[in-house]
Amino acid sequence: MDEGGKKWVQSSGIFTEKWGKMTYSTGKMTSYVSKPYHSRPAGKFITTFFPQKYYLVAPCKRGNIDNKIRVHMRKEILVLSMSCLTLLGSAASVLAEGRSVAVTAQNPADSKDLIGRWDITIDQDGKPAPSWLEVKLSGNRTLVGYFVGVSGSARPVAKVNFDNGKFSFSIPPQWEGGNQDFVIEGALAGAGIEGTITTSEGKKYNWKGVKAPYLKRTAAPVWGKAINLFNGKDLAGWKALGKNQWEVRNGVLTSPHSGANLISEQTFTDFKLHVEFRYQKGSNSGVYLRGRHEVQIEDSPADAHPASVLFSGVYGFLAPSEIAALGPDKWQSYDITLIGRMVTIVVNGKTVISNQEIPGITGGALDSNEGEPGPIYIQGDHGPIEFRKIVITPAK
């Protein structure tokens, strides 16, 4: 310290104050008080310590003359030693407490790693099949969610059991055969999840999942040129999944009966899609955006309460504001804009879904790779359906 300067030193957990010049050597310390010690009553001890050694400064007397004080290091200072031991013991207790709290809080932190949306691929005897899971926190301790299987719509999960990085839940069958619940078991695995699914028919498959991408867009799209995906003449640019029943009749793309689905050879990311279609009474079809998100085409009554599984809904996820269908055997249109996950659907000139988020894939999706471009895919396995226009305008 500077000579004549003011110095705070620690003494048994409190701060004391002194003036003076201080020198020390191995085993001893000498202190000089070069100015009157006005703030300290006579006869009081000033203590300080240096690394690995403790020192005691002798009493100071008031006065206006320099008082030279010689100080000898003492090997044992009982009171100070006991105080230090007490402090160290308290510190050790606090640290131990902190470690205990950290261990206790580990499991709740793990459960947070499961919360979110997951794109899942099931290994069905060597054939990949898409699935999807969303896990949410209900209240402050219960995990709930939604699950999309290989087929069907998003199904609510009443409770996701979680313990030490492992989780499980069950859901009843929807369109599948069998008479038992689906049982899904899994575990956190690095940045992903993995596990098994036992179907309603008792078959057991392995699966793996990755976090679903947000698909947020930071700028408005710049639209390219419109592309006629159907040329009005033949199936050029399309392929059937399975035995083909699709044909072109008088410039109309026709599926006369249930059969294979039809998939465009081109793939797209963000786009505007215009389709004109006609269905028969009681029939059912759909248009899959990027091959993963179905916009339902169905002979739904005009007075039906809107639902995600009815006409113009995003199957299992988004319900239209109204059933704006014209009915069977009439030409109708969808104008669909998809940007990231956000979709707008205009039916026969009426907007029924406006810039809503599609949470995940729908049943029947081609895959669960939501971050990748995908084709336009037309459902042909649920009854007769016709299309006379399929025009897409992709974003640049």
Tell me the fold of 227-394: Jelly Rolls (2.60.120)
Beta bridge partners of 267: none
SS3 state at 133 = strand
Q: Is the pLDDT of residue 298 over 60?
A: yes
Q: How far apart are CA 170 and CA 157, in angstroms?
A: 7
Tell me what the mean pLDDT of segment 61-68 comes to. 39
Cβ–Cβ contacts within 10 Å for residue 386, how many? 19
Q: Is the pLDDT of residue 117 over 90?
A: yes
Q: What angle do CA 277, 283, 288 make, to 5 degrees?
A: 55
At the second CATH level, the architecture of 110-211 is Beta Barrel (2.40)
Best CA proximity match to 169, nearest among 206, 121, 135: 135
Tell me what the mean pLDDT of segment 167-179 comes to. 95
Best CA proximity match to 295, nearest among 368, 259, 346: 346
Residue with more model confidence, 41 or 243: 243
Q: Is the pLDDT of residue 43 over 50?
A: no
In a 13 Å sphere around the CA of 395, the CA atoms on its Cβ side amount to 13
Which run of H or of E encompasses 21?
A: strand 21-25
Which run of H or of E encompasses 17?
A: strand 14-19
Contacts of 21 (CB under 8 A, 6+ apart): 1, 3, 4, 31, 32, 34
Which run of H or of E encompasses 324?
A: none
SS3 state at 148 = strand
292 within 8 A of 132, measured Cβ to Cβ: no
Tell me what the mean pLDDT of segment 229-236 comes to. 97
pLDDT of residue 358: 98
Tell me what the mean pLDDT of segment 286-310 comes to. 97
pTM exceeding the 0.85 threshold for the entire prediction: no
Give phi and psi for 94, each to the nearest 5.
Answer: -65, -45
Which run of H or of E encompasses 107?
A: helix 106-114
Q: pLDDT grade, residue 110 (50/70/90)? A: confident
Tell me what the mean pLDDT of segment 129-151 comes to. 96
Q: pLDDT grade, residue 42 (50/70/90)? A: very low
pLDDT of residue 301: 93
107 within 8 A of 164, measured Cβ to Cβ: yes
Q: What residue spans define the domains of the chain?
A: 6-104, 110-211, 227-394
Across 133-147, b (16+ Cβ under 10 Å) vs e yields: bbbeeeeeeebbbbb
Best CA proximity match to 41, nearest among 17, 68, 8, 74: 17
Across 236-254, b (16+ Cβ under 10 Å) vs e yields: eebebeeeebbeeeeebbb
Residue 312 token pair: 């113009």
Q: How far apart are CA 132 and CA 149, in angstroms?
A: 7
Residue with tokens 């005897």: 125
Q: Is the pLDDT of residue 182 over 50?
A: yes
Tell me what the mean pLDDT of segment 276-293 comes to. 98
pLDDT of residue 393: 98
pLDDT of residue 146: 98
